[in-house]
Each structure stands twice: as structure tokens, then as C-alpha cells.
Amino acid sequence: MVAGEASGDLLGSLLMGAIKQVAPNVRFIGIGGPKMQAEGMEILFPMEKLAVNGYLEVLRHYRELVGIRRDLRERFIAQPPDIFIGVDAPDFNLDLELALKQHGITTVHYVSPSIWAWRGERIHKIRQAVSHILALFPFEAPLYQQAGVPVSYVGHPLADILPEVPKRAEMREQMRIMPKSAKVFAFLPGSRQGEVRRLARTYIETAKLILQQLPEAQFLVPLASRETRTIFENEIWKQEAQQLPITLLFGHAHDAMIAADGVLVASGTATLEAALLKRPMVITYKMSGLSYWLAKRKQYLPYVGLPNILAGKFVVPEILQDDATPENLAQALLNLINSKQAVAELEQIFTQMHQTLRQDTAQKAAAAIQPYLA
């Protein structure tokens, strides 16, 4: 198995647990994070090596990434596994899957690449590289069926894990939010170091502007690793913002979102987590200018956030790249949380989304994989 970032580590670990139930003598080897390691994976390379995004960022790490993929390819061809499962990370995994499948190894790709949003031509490569696709969203399966790719819709494991009705008051009490009437914002700058570097200053300046309107506001900033925490902490010192009511958390993203009145979130899986936790949010993102220009040219949909993609319309604001100024982000967040009607409508939309995606995902995925293991 190969996972490339925190969301893949979670997906992979849950799938590993379900596979162990149907194949108790299974052994896992590859690339994963702490959750997959806790489930018993033998880690060949640190997962952080794969956690790069954007064209320029990938180019900077290109030789290292190619070297890791070559090592994995040679190892698995020399000692063929019963099955290879690529967990998301399509730019890394699809080439590896293609080489392995050509050598007779069964390849499963868990999480459909977003061919419905951009780079739809990848479906031809997927057909050549993948023995079976495990799709997380219901609209994806028909695309693969039409292209002749074996596919199973398995739902999204986050919909199984996260509560349909989060206990918000209890969480705020647990996190010692005082005063109780204070408006709380969860700021999620992403799990990758590059994302946090690009967004930290903007997030801190956004917090300053919100405090001008809401002097009792508090900010919870969950960070995925020591490295990302250090980056954000350093930016607080650079901005001389030590006095701001910002609490840095190591993990605990779900707790922060449950406690929050509003969420500022970097585009990615965390946007879906915020939706499943029924929180009003503003989605933002920044990447290098060239990467953004190239991505925009290949984009089919007018939105990038998963809640908007699943709803098929803009239900939450997306403020990206040069538009993502502290002024715009602060105003959008304040507009959202100050509208009781908007918050109630979002809760209704997100509840329906949750019910659709709850499919007992890990067990469904393991059941789809079991025939290949037999």
C-alpha cells in the first residue's frame, strides 16, 4: 500500500483494519503515516516525502520522488505482493500501478482521481493501470463503468467516523472556551508544509481583522505535524502576534471544527470534514502562480471545494489565490456566521450529504478487494 498524506493515512488505516477481518494472515508493506504504521504496516519510506503539491513543488522534488517510485517498483516486481493498493496520491501511484499491472500484479486504486474536475484524459491511463477502482463519491462510479474500468462505490469513511449530530456545547466546555458566548473560529491551513507556509501569514492577519469586529473571538489552529506547527509558530513571532487569542493544536482538527462557529479551511479533505461536522466554512487556497494558472486551464468545474462539488453548486464561499486577502476572508467569515438562515440551510445540506456518503466504507472496500486476495 502507498499513501501520500494525512487523509490517505486515515483511509489506508481503516481499510487495513477491515482487510485484517477478512484475511487475518495479511501483511502490509509500503508507504504510510502513523495510523497505517499503528495498524501494522512495514514503512519503507516516510510518507512526508510524497506530500508535495503543485507543479513547481513537484518539480523541486522530482528526482527524489522518481527515485522512491523506482525503488518500490523494483522491490515489488522482484517480490510480487498479492495485491497493490494505491491510496489516493494519483500522480505518484498511477505510474507505479501501471508498471506493476504490466508485470501481472493486481492493482487497486482507492479514491478516484478527480477526473470529473480536471484532467479527464487520465481515465485512459487509469484503465491501463488499475485492476479495480474504489470510488468515494456516488457520481464517480458511472464514469468508470462507461470507460470499462471495474469500480465499486464504497462511500466515504469520514461519514462513518464523524457524528451526524456533533456535541458542540460539550466540546466547547471540554476545550475550556471562555466566555461561553465567545465566537470561535477554527483555522485549518492544510497538512502539507508548503500549504502552511503560504497561508500562515494570511490566517494571522485575518484573525486580527476579525478581532476588530469581535473582540472576544478565539481561534483554534490544528496542525498536522511538528514541522507545520513550527512554521505557523514562527509566523506568529514574525507578525509579533503572540498576544492574539490563537491556540495551536497538535491534531484535534475535528474537535476544533466541532467547537467552532465558523471554519476557514484550505481546500482538500478538511473541507469535507467541516461539511460532515455541519460547520459553516470559507474555503481558501494559495499555490505558486504558475501552478495555479496551469490548474485553472485544466479545470472543468467552477468550484474546487468538495462541499460545493458534491452539492453541484456554490453552497460555501471559495476565495482563492490573489483574492484570498485577509480583508476578503474576514468579511466572508463574518457574513456567514452572522446569518442564522445561512447557517441553518448549510446544516440541512450537509446532513443530507452525510447520509448519502455513509456506506460502511472500510468493510465495503475490503469486500471489493477480497475476491482478488482469494
User: In the prediction, which pLDDT does 295 show?
Assistant: 73
Rounded-to-integer distance, Cα 181 and Cα 220, Å: 16
Q: May I ask the CATH architecture of the domain 168-357?
A: 3-Layer(aba) Sandwich (3.40)
User: What class has domain 2-155+359-373?
Assistant: alpha beta
- pLDDT tens figures, 175-233: 999 888 899 999 999 988 889 999 999 999 999 999 999 999 999 999 988 999 999 99
Pick from 204, 210, 205: nearest CA to 184:
210
pLDDT band per the 50, 70, 90 thresholds, residue 63: confident
CB distance 154 to 136 below 8 Å: yes
Burial pattern 141-174, b for ≥16 Cβ within 10 A else e, equals bebbeeeebebbbbbbbbbbebeeebebeebbee
- This prediction's pTM: 0.82
pLDDT band per the 50, 70, 90 thresholds, residue 142: very high
183 Cβ contact partners less than 8 Å away, ≥ 6 residues apart: 214, 216, 217, 218, 261, 262, 337
Looking up cell 484573525 gives 207
User: Which residue type, as a one-letter code, is found at position 230?
Assistant: T
CB distance 45 to 67 below 8 Å: no
Domain boundaries, the chain: 2-155+359-373, 168-357
